[in-house]
Amino acid sequence: MCSIIGYLGISSAAPIIVKGLKRMEYRGYDSVGVATFSKDHINVRKGVGKVLEVNKTVKLDELSGTIGIGHTRWATHGMVTDINAHPHPSSSGEVAIVHNGIIENHEGLKKELQEKGYTFKSQTDSEVIANLLQYNYDKTKDIKKSIIDTVSQLKGNYAFVAVFQDGTLGAARNHEPLIIGVGKDGYFISSDVLGFVEYTDDVIYPDNREFVIIDTSGLKIFDFEANPVRHQIIKVSKEFADSYKGEFAHFTLKEISEQPTTILSAGNSTQLEMDLASDLIRHAKNLYITGSGTSYNAALIAKFLFSKYAKIKIDPLISSEARFSHDVFEENSILIAISQSGESADVLEAVSIASKAGSKIISIVNMMTSSLVHQSAISIGVNCGPEIGVAATKSFTSQLVVLYKLVDKLCNGCLELDFTKVSEAIKKILSNDSKIRDVARLLKDVPDIYVLGRGIHYPIASEGSLKLKELTYIHAEGLPGGELKHGPLALMDSDSFVLIINPNDSTYNDTLMSAKQIKARGARVIGISDIPSDVYDYWIDIPSIGESLYPLLEIIPIQLLAYYAAIEKDTDPDYPRNLAKSVTVK
Ligand code: BG6
């Protein structure tokens, strides 16, 4: 996914836009660019790389004018090059656009426009929007009509912002996020409130298939059928403005360190929704739970908690696979959708497939202003504040806390939850991380690492391996301990490193047996446990706690290990290569 932004007001636009792009950089950081309108001309500056790097060389924030647009890119079509960076001007230069999403019919449109004499410089799908707007504007000399004609021809999920030759800003959304900020001295258009929350917390959420025109006479919103639309101005919580690293070197380390606090506030803001959700679940015909990446690993944990403690069967579904198993959903099915951002396209697609089949949607979300919340019957807030680091950390443990609270309601308090104790235990792990740093140094040149867990600890092994992949680029694999002897054991030799998740619970002896089998092949074993053992070459100690709550503790040392190994390997923990915070394209 990319980030797009626009500003029209009385202040200099470029510095405001560059600041907004820096805040939204987690959405994509292959290239960045800004275009401003001044003295009847659209000026474009762009380059490959992150916001601060590119700004140093091409001076994005020194562009003149009080009207402008900006973009950070997560490449989908066309290599990561200067020419493919946004903004894209039309062939006459009278319109420039920034775009997030995918134009599925761009090849056909490009061919038609080339036959009409419009030229293209880039390999992107996005540039077709600029020339199509130009072509429709040339026909009508009317900006509103040119946007209506353009959106009627575009296919795919998209949001774009355009600046026209007379200084007008136009923007449209079709299944991609677009938010308007109403400031004291100007208007903002952005993919995310983070883009402008520093300047205003008054926002408008255009619905899907709506477009916006902003000029010196003000703001107008229309649907794609040209009908004027009015929306309420909503206040967003200023917590979004609090996305600073503070004394931490990286957002990822800051967010890992926030967990003693965030697990205590998880789900607190939506108690009523928690009650309503548990009622719906009790009466559901069948129950599914879905998510992508880390959120899917939380769904796997839910399967254990629901079946073991609430005696309720729930089927986890990888969101990106939902389109291949759409026949499972029916009337009276419940789908629980987990998503930090609430904008992952795969999750939104699974939700729309289930809704079309008459199923009800319960969502567990951090960004309560997101599309997923608007598409859910009930939304439970994870409430861990903005998460900027691309690899999910605090949102995962807060998702788990919400799932624990939901299951505890369904089993009438059978879990005896004590999150204060968990919070204290996490503080202990965070304050005693020297052993973890030592092990991280060992992983610097390791090509592969295996993460083992049994029962409820297997999803944690899967999440741990995901963290190692995302942050260190080491090939890491999560394995259910018992499966070792059915194949993966062939991989084990004296070069192998294996992380064993082995707390003192009902899985302890079986997992220790697996560790011994691995040790017998000469592999190095890192044990994460509240009990030491000679089998471990390196023991990472975690405090003892109630059997059901170990997943909340044992993931913390793995998050830290991945972070410190990333530092050792000099990768960028906050903005791992080729990834984005949530992927809004399918
Ligand atoms: C990926 C992120 O793009 O999306 C992961 O890099 C995340 O960290 C996954 O787990 C799912 O995102 P979300 O917002 O739907 O939970």
Residue range 451-483, pLDDT digits in tens: 999 999 999 999 999 999 999 999 999 999 999
How much distance in Å is there from the Cα of 24 to the middle of ligand 1?
Answer: 15
pLDDT for the residue 278: 95
Q: 295 CA to middle of ligand 1, Å?
A: 7
Alpha carbon of 355 to ligand 1 centroid (Å): 22
Average of per-residue pLDDT across 494-510: 96
- Over residues 131-141, the mean pLDDT reads 97
DSSP-based three-state secondary structure for 61: helix
Comparing 544 with 27, the larger pLDDT belongs to: 544
Give 110's contacts (C-beta < 8 A, 6+ positions apart): 120, 127, 128, 131
pLDDT band at residue 507 under the 50/70/90 scheme: very high
Tell me which residues are annotated as active site.
2, 581
The predicted pLDDT at position 26 comes to 84
Task: Say if residue 573 is preceded by a cis peptide, omega within 30 of 0.
Answer: no
Cα distances (angstroms) measured from residue 141 to each of 133, 144, 145, 262: 11, 9, 8, 53
Distance (Å, whole) CA 386 – CA 384: 7
Residue nearest to atom 3 of ligand 1 (CA): 582
Ligand 1 in reach of 297 Cβ (< 6 A): no
Q: How far is the CA of 294 from the centre of ligand 1 (A)?
A: 6
Please give the mean pLDDT across all residues of the chain.
94
Q: Kindly state if the Cβ of 582 falls inside 6 Å of ligand 1.
A: yes
Q: Side-chain half-sphere of 381: how many Cα atoms within 13 Å?
A: 16
Q: What is the pLDDT of residues 148-191, one digit of tens each?
A: 999 999 999 899 999 999 999 999 999 888 999 999 999 999 99
Does residue 344's CB lie within 6 angstroms of at least one atom of ligand 1? yes
Distance 560 CA to ligand 1 centre (A): 18
Pick the residue whose CA is nearest to atom 2 on ligand 1.
581
Please check whether residue 93 is in contact with residue 44, taking contact to mean a CB–CB distance below 8 angstroms: no
Stronger pLDDT, 1 or 281, i.e. the higher one: 281
Question: Which residues, 6+ apart, have CB-to-CB distance to 349 below 8 Å?
Answer: 319, 322, 323, 586
Confidence (pLDDT) at 578: 87
pLDDT at 236: 78
| Residue among 192, 295, 338 to mutate when testing ligand 1 (max atoms within 8 A of CB) | 295
Report the C-alpha gap between 510 and 49 in whole angstroms.
Answer: 48
Residue nearest to atom 6 of ligand 1 (CA): 581
The Cα 334–Cα 319 span in angstroms is 15
Indicate if ligand 1 lies below 6 Å from the C-beta of 350.
no
Give me the pLDDT at residue 286, please. 93
Q: Which of 340, 370, 584 to mutate to test the pocket of ligand 1 (most atoms within 8 A of CB)?
A: 340
Query: Residue 224 Cα, ligand 1 centroid: separation in angstroms?
Result: 30
pLDDT at 25 > cutoff 80: yes
Q: Is the CB of 580 under 6 A from ligand 1?
A: yes
Q: Whose CA is nearest to atom 4 of ligand 1?
A: 582
pLDDT band, residue 74 (cuts 50/70/90): confident
pLDDT at 244: 67
Residue nearest to atom 15 of ligand 1 (CA): 339
Is pLDDT of 418 > 60? yes
pLDDT beyond 90 at 1: no
Pocket lining: 295 vs ligand 1, CB cutoff 6 Å: yes
Tell me, in angstroms, the distance from the centre of ligand 1 to residue 518's CA: 32
Average pLDDT over residues 335-355: 95
Residue with the larger pLDDT of the pair 96 and 241: 96
What integer pLDDT is reported at residue 245 of this predicted model? 78
Q: What is the pLDDT of residues 211-258, one digit of tens each?
A: 999 999 999 999 999 999 998 898 876 555 555 678 898 999 999 999
533-574 tens-digit pLDDT: 999 999 999 999 989 999 999 999 999 999 999 999 999 999
- The fraction of the chain above a pLDDT of 70, given in percent, is 98
Residue 443 pLDDT grade (very low, low, confident, very high; cuts 50, 70, 90): very high
User: Region 134-151: what's the mean pLDDT?
Assistant: 97
Ligand 1, atom 7, lies closest to the CA of 293
Output the pLDDT for position 240: 55
pLDDT (average), residues 270-288: 92
| Predicted local distance difference test score (pLDDT) of residue 339 | 97
Gap between the Cα atoms of 192 and 371, Å rounded: 11
Q: Specify the range with the lowest mean pLDDT, choosing from 197-201, 280-284, 518-522.
A: 197-201
Q: Is the pLDDT of residue 142 over 90?
A: yes
Task: Confirm or reject: Cβ of 290 under 6 Å from ligand 1.
Answer: no
Distance of alpha carbon 38 from alpha carbon 193, whole angstroms: 26
